[in-house]
Amino acid sequence: MNEESRLLSSQVKDPNSPDKKSEKDYSKYFQAIYTPPSLKEAKKRGKEEVAYHNDFAIAEEFRGMGQNRKFYIRTYGCQMNEHDTEVMAGIFMQLGYEPTDTVDDANVILLNTCAIRENAENKVFGELGHLKHLKQNNPDVLIGVCGCMSQEESVVNKILKTYNQVDMIFGTHNIHRLPNILNEAYLSKEMVIEVWSKEGDVIENLPRVRKGSIKAWVNIMYGCDKFCTYCIVPYTRGKERSRRPEDIIQEIRHLAAQGYKEVTLLGQNVNAYGKDFEDLDYRFGDLMEDLRKIDVARIRFMTSHPRDFDDHLIEVLAKGGNLVDHIHLPVQSGSSEILKIMARKYSREHYLELVNKIKTAIPNASLTTDIIVGFPNETDEQFEETMSLYKEVGFEIAYTYIYSPREGTPAAKMVDNVPMEVKKERLQRLNKLVNDMSAEAMKKHDGQIVEVLVEGESKNNPDVLAGYTSKSKLVNFKGPKEIIGQLVQVKITDAKTWSLTGELVEVPNGQKVGI
Ligand code: SAH
Ligand code: SF4
Ligand code: F3S
Is 143 a pocket residue for ligand 3 (Cβ < 6 Å)? no
CA–CA separation, 460 and 292 (whole Å): 35
Residue 514 falls within a domain, yes or no? no
CA–CA separation, 504 and 478 (whole Å): 7
Residue 408 falls within a domain, yes or no? yes
pLDDT at 496 > cutoff 70:
yes
Residue 109 falls within a domain, yes or no? yes
Mean pLDDT of the chain: 90
Rounded to the nearest 10°, the torsion over CA 73, 79, 81, 85 is: 40
Which protein residue's CA is at the shortest distance from atom 4 of ligand 2? 268
Cα–ligand 3 centroid distance for 117 (angstroms): 9
Under DSSP, is residue 175 helix (H, G, I), strand (E, B) or coil? helix
Q: Which pLDDT does position 509 carry in this prediction?
A: 60
Q: Which pLDDT does position 43 carry in this prediction?
A: 74
Which protein residue's CA is at the shortest distance from atom 7 of ligand 3? 233
Q: Which pLDDT does position 437 carry in this prediction?
A: 97
- Around ligand 2, the residues with Cβ closer than 6 Å are 224, 226-228, 231, 233-234, 268-269, 305
Are 282 and 418 part of one and the same domain?
Answer: yes
Angle at 111 between CA 95 and CA 68, to 5 degrees: 30
Residue 52 falls within a domain, yes or no? no
Cα–ligand 1 centroid distance for 44 (angstroms): 22
Q: What is the pLDDT of residues 198-235, one digit of tens each?
A: 777 899 999 999 999 999 999 999 999 999 999 999 99
Is 80 a pocket residue for ligand 3 (Cβ < 6 Å)? yes
Are 473 and 409 part of one and the same domain?
Answer: no
Are 431 and 287 part of one and the same domain?
Answer: yes
Number of neighbouring beta carbons within 10 Å of residue 57:
8
End-of-domain residue from the set 158, 173, 198 = 198
Domain range for 235:
203-443
Q: What is the pLDDT of residues 113-134, one digit of tens each?
A: 999 999 999 999 999 999 999 9
Cα–ligand 1 centroid distance for 266 (angstroms): 15
Cα–ligand 2 centroid distance for 231 (angstroms): 6
Q: What CATH number should be reported for the domain holding residue 7?
A: 3.40.50.12160
Are 494 and 437 part of one and the same domain?
Answer: no
- Closest ligand 2 atom to residue 232 Cα is 1
Q: Which pLDDT does position 136 carry in this prediction?
A: 86
End-of-domain residue from the set 174, 198, 222 = 198
Is 249 a pocket residue for ligand 3 (Cβ < 6 Å)? no
Cβ(284)–Cβ(267) below 8 Å: no
CA–CA separation, 427 and 420 (whole Å): 10
Provide the residue type at 508 as one letter: P
Are 194 and 209 part of one and the same domain?
Answer: no
Residue 511 falls within a domain, yes or no? no
C-alpha torsion sign, points 192, 193, 196, 201 = positive
Are 438 and 292 part of one and the same domain?
Answer: yes
pTM: 0.91
Domain total for the chain?
Answer: 3
Cβ(473)–Cβ(439) below 8 Å: no
What b-and-e string marks burial along 429-461, b requiring 16 or more CB atoms within 10 Å of the CB?
Answer: ebeebbeebbeebbeebeeeebbbbbbeebeee
Cα–ligand 3 centroid distance for 195 (angstroms): 16
Residue 513 falls within a domain, yes or no? no
Cβ(121)–Cβ(115) below 8 Å: yes
Angle at 396 between CA 391 and CA 401, to 5 degrees: 80
Q: What is the pLDDT of residues 339-395, one digit of tens each?
A: 999 999 999 999 999 999 999 999 999 999 999 999 999 999 999 999 999 999 999
pLDDT at 12 > cutoff 70:
no
**Residues in binding site for [4Fe-4S] cluster:** 78, 114, 148, 224, 228, 231
CA gyration radius, the chain: 24
CA–CA separation, 342 and 410 (whole Å): 9
Is 115 a pocket residue for ligand 3 (Cβ < 6 Å)? yes
- Closest ligand 3 atom to residue 81 Cα is 6
Are 412 and 313 part of one and the same domain?
Answer: yes
Are 274 and 347 part of one and the same domain?
Answer: yes
Cα–ligand 1 centroid distance for 231 (angstroms): 6
CA–CA separation, 345 and 385 (whole Å): 17
Pocket mutation for ligand 3, best pick of 233, 240, 303 (most atoms within 8 Å of C-beta):
233
Cβ(412)–Cβ(464) below 8 Å: no
Q: Which residues are bridge partners to 342 per DSSP? A: none
Residue 145 falls within a domain, yes or no? yes
Are 316 and 288 part of one and the same domain?
Answer: yes
Q: Which pLDDT does position 2 carry in this prediction?
A: 36
Q: Which pLDDT does position 300 carry in this prediction?
A: 97
Are 160 and 231 part of one and the same domain?
Answer: no
Are 135 and 106 part of one and the same domain?
Answer: yes
The region, left, alpha or beta by phi > 0 then psi within -120 to 50, assigned to residue 274 is: left
Q: What is the mean pLDDT of residues 393-408?
A: 97
End-of-domain residue from the set 412, 443, 474 = 443
Phi and psi torsions of 287, nearest 5°? -65, -45
pLDDT at 412 > cutoff 70:
yes
Q: In what order do the strands lie in the sheet with 298-302?
A: 215-219, 262-266, 298-302
Pocket mutation for ligand 2, best pick of 228, 303, 346, 401 (most atoms within 8 Å of C-beta):
228
Three-state SS string over 85-128 comes to HHHHHHHHHHCCCEECCCHHHCCEEEEEECCCCHHHHHHHHHHH
Q: What CATH number should be reported for the domain holding residue 384?
A: 3.80.30.20
Are 352 and 245 part of one and the same domain?
Answer: yes
Residue 210 falls within a domain, yes or no? yes
- Closest ligand 1 atom to residue 304 Cα is 8
